Structure 1
C-alpha cells in the first residue's frame, strides 16, 4: 500500500505543499491496508477526532497578533509580515496555504464513506458534519488571506492536481456557507457531545456569526448570534484574567469552541515561549507587545489615559506619586485587562500574593535587561501563561486555546447592530456587559460613528492576543493607518535618562497587502495558479 502514500504526496507537491511527512503518519498505510483501516469503527472515530488538529492552535491564536499592530515577534517569520517586508517566499505566507490540511480532511471524509456500514446513521451524519465543518473553517481562512483559491473537495491524482486553478473568492465563500448551513447544521447534533473541543450546533452558529461579520452581512450576524444567546448555554466568565489560565478550563461557561490540551500527551510551549528569561520557565520572550496597544488601555475611570491630566482625573497624580525605582506608575489605575494581558517593566509575577519574579527589562542586573536581550520591546504577554506552574511545565503547557467564546459573540452582535444603526441601546448594553466584567465603567449612548469607535476599541482590548486583531484591521480596511510608520516599545531608562520609548522598527504598508501573495512554491509547482495583483 505504499503506492497510496506516493500518490497522495505527488498530488500535494503539485498543489504547492512542500512536505507530506505529517500526512504519512496517519493512517500507517504501509502497515495496514486501507480497507482494513476503514473497516474498524474505533479507528474511523479516531480519524475524525484527529481532524481537530487542523483548527487553530497557539500559532493562530497568540502569534497571529504579531502580524497586526498589537505586537511584533522575536523571529523573522512573523516579524516580516508585521512590518511589511514579507514576500511570496515568506514562511508565514506558506503556513496559511493549507492544502496539506485540505487533502487530509478530504481523505478522512472519503474514509467515513467507506466505514458507513460499520456505524449508525446518526454517527455517520455527525462524523461527516464534524469534518466538513473543519474543512469549511480552513477554507474560509484561506479565502480571507488569499482571495481566490483552488476549491478541492476530493483526493486528487497527480494529473488532476496539475489541472487545479484558483476559483473566484465568492464561489469558495458560497461553498463554505452552504457546507455550514446545509451540510453541518442539520446533522451536527445527531449524536450530542458536551466537550467544548468538539463541534456542536452552537459552535457552528458562532462561527457563522464570525464569517458573516467579516463578510459584512450584518442581518445574518444578528440571526446567528441570537441563536447562540438564546440557547442559554453560555455566559461571561466572572473573572477576565482567570478565563485565560488553565485552572479555569474545567468550569468555564464562556468558551464555545477550543483546541484542547492535556499534559503530558497533548501540550504546547507557550509557558516558555511567552515568558521572560527571569521567570520560573526561563522563557524565550517570543511575542513582544507594542506601546500603541498599551496606550489603548484606558484609565480605570473609563477615558483615554492620555486625557487624565486635562480632565483633572485623580489618577494622573496618583500614577506620578506611585513611580519608584522598580515600579512604573504609568501602568497603575488602568483597565484591569492590561495587567491580565501584558507584562511591563518590573511587572510582578505573583502566586498566592507572593512575588516570584519581576520582569527586569530595565534592570541591568536582570537576565531580561534590554541591553542583553536587545530584541525586547519592554512588553511581553502574560495571557495564556500558567503562572502557577513549575520549570518542567515550560514545554508542557495545557491551557486550552480558545477559538470561539461568548464574549466575542456579544461584541459581534453589538458591531452588527451599530453597522445597521439598529437598536443602538442594545449594542451599548452588550458592550457594557463586557466592560462590567472587566471592572470598567459603562459607555454612554452616542451616535453611530462614536459607537463604532467604542466598539472597535473594545474588541482590541477584550480580544488582544486571541488571533483576531489582524482580521479586524483588514476587514475594517484601516491597515494603511495602523500598519505603517515607526512603532515603539516601553519607556526605558536603558534607552535614555529621560526614559524615551524604545524604537522597535519602521513598518511599511501597500494596499496589495490586503491579500497575501500566493506562495511562490505553489506557483512553481502548478503554473495554473496565477499570482495576486502587484505581487
Structure 2
C-alpha cells in the first residue's frame, strides 16, 4: 500500500504545476535516485499504469458508456428522467457537457452523476501515456541494481508500456480525432495535434515491434486479461486497422487484409476460446479464457456503488436488482423504435435472449432489464457483489466478428467471413447465417456485433468507422453527412488544452 501511494504521488507530481502543455520536468524520484532500484519497483509502477487507465477511462467517467448510447435508439425509462441519455442519442453533445447541476431541478439531477463534461479533459488519459512513457524508458535501469531483472522481463514491461500507451491513443482518436502524439518520457514542449491516421499507424508499428514480448497468457490466472497479453495487442491492432479502413479509405483493402492476418494469428495461438453460453457469466466476471483485455472493478473498494450511473448495467436494471430510484420498477434506460425486436426477432432462436434479458425484452417503457453484466447466480440479496463484473475492452468474440467484417469487405473473403460469424452464432445457440437465404453478409456481421457486444462500448464507433452513422437505414439517430464531415462525430475538447500551447486547436464543430 505504501508503494502504491508513492507511485500515485509520483505520477500526480508529473502533471502538477505544468507551465506548458503536457510539460513534464525530470524528477529525481523518477530518474533512478530514489526509485527503479528493484524488480518490485518496476512491477509496482507497471500496476500503477493500469490503475491510471482504470481510473481515467473506465471507472470515473462515462467514456465507455458513450460508445453504447451516442446516436443509439435509447431514451430514459424511469423517474427521475435521465436527460443525458436523450442528449447522447440525439448527439446534442454541447448541451450535454455544458448543462450544470441545478440544485432542486430534477431535470438536471443527472449531470452530477454523468459528469459528461470531464470526458472533454483528456488529461487523465495523457497521464496513462506519460506513465507508460516513463515505464518504457526506466525499466532497463533496474537491471543495473537487480540481477533478477532479466532482459526478457525488461522487454515484457516495455511491451506492456507500449500496449497501454497505444490503447490510450486509440481511445483518444476515436473521441477527439487528431491528438498530440509523443513517446518521450519527459516531454517539455507544447505540441500540436497529430493527424489521427498517423497516430493509428504509429501505434500499429509500435505494437508490431513489441507484442511478441508479451505472453499469450499468464501462469497466474489473476493476471489474465487484466494485464496486457499478446492477444490484447493483436486485438488492439485489429481495431486500429479497422479504424484506419474507415478514415483512410484509399488504403482500406490493405487494412482489411491486415485485420484478417492478425485474426488468423490470434486463432492459431489456441490461447483463447469462446466460453459456452451456460458459462457466459464467467466472461463478464473477468479473467476468463475469452477475455483479451478488460478493466477490473470490485465493490469491496467502492467501485460500483459510487459510479453505477456511469455504467450500462446501472442503466438497464431496476429494483430489486439495483436500488437507484427509490425502488422503481423501471430501468433508467430503455431501447426504442423496435430496436431489440430487430436484433432479436421473436421467432428467431438465440440463447442471448434467455441469458441476458428478462421477459420484458421488447417493452419500451423501462420495464426491460438486461442481466448481461449482472451475476444472477448470486441472487437478489447479494446485489452489490452481483455488480462486480468487469469493463470488457476486447474479447475473443469481438475479434472474430471484426475479422469477419474485414473479410466481408474483400472479394475473396465471404466464405471465411461466414464461418467466423457462425462461430459466434453457434455459441449463442442462434440461427446460422446462410448465403443461400440471407444475401447481405456485411449487414449480418454488423448486427451480430450490435447484439454480441451490446454494453461494451462499440456500437457508436462501429457506425462511425463504417460510415453508417449518416445512413438512416442503420443509424436510428443519424448525423447528417454535412455535419459529419465538419466534425459532429467528434467529442469536444476542453479549452484547458489551449493553456500555454499556441499550437493547440479545438474541435471547431463544438465551439
Instruction: Give me the TM-score of the superposition, normalised by structure 1.
Output: 0.71
Conserved in 2, the CA contact under 8 Å of 1:276 and 1:283? no
Q: CA–CA distance in 2 between the matches of 1:124 and 1:516?
A: 37
Residue number in structure 2 paired with 1:207: 236
- Once the two structures are TM-superposed, the CA of residue 300 in structure 1 deviates from its matched residue by 5.5
Q: 2:170, 2:200 within 8 Å by CA — same for their partners in 1? A: yes
Contact 2:321/2:383 (CA < 8 Å) preserved in 1?
no
Q: 1:453 and 1:247, CA in 2 relative to 1: closer, same or farther beyond 3 A?
A: closer
Q: Give the C-alpha shift of residue 273 in structure 1.
A: 2.4
Query: Where does structure 1 differ by over 6 angstroms across 4 or more consecutive aligned residues?
Result: 1-4
1:86 equivalent to 2:93? Answer yes
8 Å Cα contact 2:272-2:289 kept in structure 1: yes
Distance 2:87 2:19 in 1: 27
Q: Please say if residues 222 and 413 of structure 1, whose CA atoms lie closer than 8 Å, have aligned partners that are also in contact.
A: yes
Instruction: Tell me, yes or no, if structure 1 residue 523 matches structure 2 residue 487.
Output: no
Aligned positions of 1:304-383 closer than 5 A: 335-343=350-358, 345=360, 377-383=366-372
Give the Cα separation in 2 of the matches to 1:12 and 1:244: 48
Match for residue 44 of structure 1? Answer: 42
Whichever structure has more strand as a proportion of its residues is 1
Cα deviation per residue 1:440-492 (whole Å; 9 max; x = unaligned)? Answer: 2212115997111111111111111111111100011122235999x7xxxxx
Distance, in Å, in 2 between the alignment partners of 1:218 and 1:192 is: 30
- SS of match in other structure, 2:273: coil
C-alpha displacement at 1:167, in angstroms? 1.6
- The answer on 1:144 being equivalent to 2:180 is no
Equivalent residue number for residue 174 of structure 1: 201
Answer whether contact 1:47 1:108 (CA < 8 A) is retained.
yes
Comparing both structures, which one devotes a greater share of its residues to helix? 2
Query: How far is the alpha carbon of 1:199 from its aligned partner?
Result: 1.4
Match of 1:427 in 2: 417
Alignment of 1:253-292 (within 5 A): 253-262=289-298, 264-265=300-301, 267-269=303-305, 270=308, 273-274=314-315, 276-284=317-325, 285-292=331-338
| Conservation of the 8 A alpha-carbon contact between 1:68 and 1:469 | no
1:275–1:448 distance in 2 versus 1, CA, 3 Å:
closer
- RMSD over aligned Cα atoms: 3.9
| Structure 1 range deviating more: 124-133 or 70-79 | 70-79
Q: Distance in 1 between matches of 2:361 and 2:397?
A: 30
After TM superposition, list the pairs within 5 Å mapping 1:53-68 onto structure 2: 53=51, 54=53, 57=58, 59-62=62-65, 64-68=67-71
**Cα displacement string for residues 82-130 of structure 1 (whole angstroms, at most 9, x for unaligned residues):** 3221127661641566223323333333442443423221111111110
Counterpart Cα distance in 1 of 2:405 and 2:298: 35
Shift in CA distance, 278/523, structure 1 to aligned 2, threshold 3 Å = same
CA shift at 1:427, angstroms?
Answer: 1.6
- Paired with 1:12 and 1:67, the residues of 2 have a C-alpha distance of 35
Partner residue of 1:491?
Answer: none
The question of whether the paired residues in 2 share the 8 Å contact of 1:483 and 1:508 is answered with: no
Segment drifting more, 138-147 vs 65-74: 65-74
User: Could you tell me how far 1:72 is from its partner in structure 2?
Assistant: 4.8
- Contact preservation (8 Å) 2:225, 2:294: yes
Q: Distance in 1 between matches of 2:396 and 2:92?
A: 36
Where does structure 2 lack aligned partners over 5 or more consecutive residues? 1-5, 99-115, 246-254, 326-330
Q: Partner residue of 2:389?
A: 399
Q: Tell me, what secondary structure is at the counterpart of 1:425?
A: helix
- In the alignment of these two chains, the number of paired residues is 442
Higher gyration radius (CA): 1
